[in-house]
Amino acid sequence: MIINLRGTSGSGKSTIVHQLLKKYPFEPIPAVMKSTLFGSEPVGKPLGYQYGKVRVVGGYTTVCGGCDGIATQDEVEQRVRSWYGEGCHVLFEGLLISHIYSRWCGVAKDCQPFLFLFLDTSLEVCLERVLKRRAERGNDKPLNKKNTVQKWNDARRVFQKAVEDGLSAEWVNAKQALQRIEHEFGLQR
């Protein structure tokens, strides 16, 4: 199973993945191993995280994370397809990915089962979270809400397109999203 967690800025995508990584003993998947006097050690950002047969794409060493820290969409797709091809469950999210449909429609058609899981966070809450995150970083410039509003509306359009294309797509709140991911991936505590 592949799950693509989607939502606009402040919807809670990275927060849900942080909760999952904290709840289960996920380990970083190192990009490169460097030889040392005592063996080897990982170098650089992890490719993702693993726990049993579950893989999470991207890095989560900061508040935000996921696939937005990966240089290209080709790299993201390669990790998703590769880990799925190895028989793993794969979870991935990112702000950029949440607004790209055609590439991930193709992956969804090739790699079944695939679920587009959209976070049903209100626009007001998303905007509050974006403002809070900016304030925590010391950014006191006025927020141009237009982009967030547009992307929030785009998510509804992309959801409809996925449904029309016969793909699995659902709207869930944050708690339901975490529970759904755990259920689909067979994670139990």
pTM > 0.75: yes or no: yes
What is the domain-level CATH number for residue 80?
3.40.50.300
The predicted pLDDT at position 42 comes to 45
The predicted pLDDT at position 111 comes to 97
Residue 44 lies in a domain: no
For residue 127, give the DSSP letter: H
Q: What domain range is 71 assigned to?
A: 2-11+67-185
Residue 16 lies in a domain: no
The predicted pLDDT at position 77 comes to 97
The predicted pLDDT at position 10 comes to 93
Residue 85 lies in a domain: yes
Mean pLDDT by 10 residues, the chain (189 residues): 96 95 95 58 76 95 81 95 98 91 97 97 95 90 91 94 97 94 90
The predicted pLDDT at position 38 comes to 63
The predicted pLDDT at position 33 comes to 45
Residue 55 lies in a domain: no
The predicted pLDDT at position 36 comes to 53
Residue 156 lies in a domain: yes
Residue 31 lies in a domain: no
The predicted pLDDT at position 76 comes to 96
Sheet holding 89-93, edge to edge: 27-29, 48-51, 54-57, 89-93, 2-6, 114-119, 168-172
Residue 37 lies in a domain: no
- State the total domains in the chain: 1
Strand boundaries in the chain, DSSP class E: 2-6, 27-29, 32-36, 39-43, 48-51, 54-57, 89-93, 114-119, 168-172
The predicted pLDDT at position 182 comes to 97
Residue 118 lies in a domain: yes
